[in-house]
Chains A and B, each alone.
Chain A
Amino acid sequence: MFEVFKKELKELLRDKKTLIFIVALPVAIFPLLFAVMAFISSQATLEAEQKVHTYAIINGEYAQSFTDKVFYHKSFQLYKGEHTFNTVAELTQAVKAGTIDMGIFLPADAKQNLDDAKQSQWQVVYNDAKAINFLFDRVKELAEEFGNNLRAEKLLSYGVSVEQQSAIIDPIKVVKVDTADKRENLGEKIGGFIPYLLIPLVLMGATYPAIDLGAGEKERGTLETLLLTPITRTQLVLGKFITLLAASIATTTITVLSMGIWISIAITFIDLDVVKTAFSSLRVLDLTLIFIILLPVAAIFSSLSLAISIYARSFKEAQNYMTPLSMGVIFPIIVALLPNVELTAKTAFIPVTNVALAIKEIIKGTIDYTLLGLIFLATVIVAGALLAFCVKWFNKEAVLFR
C-alpha cells in the first residue's frame, strides 16, 4: 500500500498541471485575484469620488443657503453652458445626454411651504446605475441640513428651546447594549464565507489528482498493469486514497497558510483594528480544530472523486463527472450560509453543511464541543462508508473495464 502511495506521490509531484492546481493556485492566484479585484474596485470608486461633477439647479433662490453650499462643495461644479433648464424633464434629458452629471429641482420656496404647513419635495436627477450614486447622498445631506435649520427656526419661533426640540422630535432613543464581543460579531458576518472558500479547495485538492489516478491510469493503460501485481484491491485503493487525502490536505494547509500570510501583510498596510482584534483572538487551538474537522471532509472527497474517476473511461469523461460533484458540494455550503440556519443536533448530521456550520461557530468562538465531536464522528462514518464503497467499486469488472 505504501509503495503505491510513494509512487503516486512521486508521479504527482512531477505533474506540473496538478501542481499548479494544488500549490500554485492557492498560493499565488487567489490572493492575486483578490488584490486585483480590490485594486480595480478601489480605483474606480476613488476616481468617481475625486472627479468634480457638473450640476444644474432650478429655482435655487428658494433655498439660497442650500444652493450656496452645493455651489461651494468641492465635488460639484455649476453648469455654465448654453442650455437652460426649467423642468425635471429637461434635467433628465441633460443627464442622459451627458451635458450634466446631476440636476436639482426645487419646486417652491421651502420656507413658505413650511409656513403654510406643507412639505417640500425636492428632486435630484442623476444616473443611479453609474459609480456616482454617492452624489445623491451628498445632496441629501446638504438638503437635510437645510431642512433641520428651517425646522429649528420654526420651532424656536413657537418658543420651543433647542434642548426641548430634540426631546420633542425624538422622544424615545433606543440604545443597543451588545453582548457579543468583536470576534463573535465579525465571526457571524464573515464566518460563513470561510468554509465557502475552504471546503471547495479541499475538494479541488482531491479531484484534480483523482482524475489522473483513476481515469488517467485507465487511459494510459497503467491500471491494467497495476492490476497484474500481487496486491489486493483494498491495498490499491488505500494507496491511491492516501495520496488524494495528502493532496487535499496539502491544498487546504497551503491555502490557509497563504491566506493567513496575506491577511497579516494586508493588516500592516491597512491597519484595520476590527480585523486585527478578530483574527488575533483566533487561537492556535481554533485553527487546529478547523484543520481536524476538515480531515474527514477531505476523506469523503477523496473517496468520492476516486470512485468517480475510476468509473470514467477517459480523463475527459472524468472531468465531466466532477462538475456535478462540485455543485453537489457547493449546495450544502450555501445552506449553511442561509439566515437562521444554526448548528443544532439536527444540522450536525447533514454532511458538509454540518462542517461549514462548525467552522463558522469555531471562528465566532461559540462552538459547542459536544456537537463538534458529533460532527466529527458523523463525518468519519460517512468517509469510512464511502471508502468501503470505493474498495467495492474497484472490485467490479464492469467499472474497471467499461
Chain B
Amino acid sequence: MSGVFTGAVRPGAWVFLFIFLAALLVAPFLANDYVLTILILILYFAYVGQAWNIMMGFAGQLSLGHAIYVGLGAYTTAALYVHYGVGPWIGLIAGMAIAVACGALIGFLAFRFGVSGVYFAILTIAFAEFARIGFDHFGWVGASGGYFLPVAQYSHNDVWNLRGKPIMFYYLMLALSMAAFAICALLLRSRMGYFWQAIREDEEAARSLGIDTFRYKMYAVTISAGMTSVAGMFFAFYYNNLFPEQVFHISRSIELILGPIIGGIGTLFGPIVGAVLLTGLAEGLREIMDYFGYDAPGAKQVFYGVCLLVVVLLVPNGVWPPLARALRLTGGERRKTGEGHAGRETGEGRDR
C-alpha cells in the first residue's frame, strides 16, 4: 500500500512522542506522591480508553458497559490471589479468559441476532448491571461488603506479585499504556483494522464487499474485553479493595469512555490526550478550589459535564484531530468517527 494511505505519523510526531515518553519516564523522580497518584490515574484512563476505543473507535460498536471487563479482571485476579495464593500475572490469564468469554457472549448474542447501535449499547449496560447485582451476592468474593487484598508495608517492589510502592504501579501502567498504543497502532493498520473501519463506516457496504462482519465484530469485542481486563488486575492490586457497587457501576463505564470521546474517538492519540486533559484538569481544578478553601464534592462531575459539552459543541471529533493539525504532527490522522458526521464535514479529509 503506497504513500497515498493516510494516517501515517509524520517524523515530527515521532520526535514529539519521544519527548513525551522521556518526560513520562522521569516524571516519578520529579513528582511528589500526590502528583504521582494523579499520573497513575491518567495512565489508567489512557489504557482503558485505548482498549475501549478498539471496539467503538475502530469497529464502531458502542459499549457502555466496559466496567464489566475491568471488574471481571479485578475480581478474578484478586480472588485467585487471596484464596489460592496465585500471583496476579498467572491469575490474569484466567481473568482475561473470563472477560473474553463474557465479551464473546455479549457479542454473539448481539451480532448473531442483529442487535446493533443503541440496542447493542443497552445490552452492554444490562450485562454490566447483571454483574454488579450478581457480585453483590457473591459471598466467595465478599459480596456487597467488599473484597480486600491484604495490605502491608512493603520495603521493596515485588512486580511478580504486584505488591509495592506507587512508583511500581506507575511504571506498570506506563508500560501497559505504551503496549496498548503499540497494539492499537498495529491493529489499525492491519487488514483487520481496515475491515473494522469498513464496518464502522457502513456495515452493509462492508458485507457486500465480502467482509465477514460477524467474525470481525467478535474479534473487536473480545480483544477489547481482554485488554480491558488487564486494567482490572491493576485496579485490584493498586487499590486493594473491590466493591461491586463501585467496580461495576455504570458511572465507571461512562468515566472510562470520556477520555476517548474528548480526545477523539477512533484516533490513536485521542484516548491518551483525553485522559491527560480530563483527569489532569479535574485534579487541577480540585487543587485550585482547595487553595481558595472551597469544598464542593460534585465539582469533578460538573467539570466532566462541562468538558463533554464544550467538546460536543466545538470539536465534535475530539480535541486530538484539530490539535494534531495545529501542531502539524500527523500526516492525516483524520476524523474516524461514525458515519453520522460524514456529510457534515466534507473537506476534513483534505487536510494535507
Do A and B belong to a common assembly?
no
Which A residues are closer than 8 A to B by beta carbons?
A: none
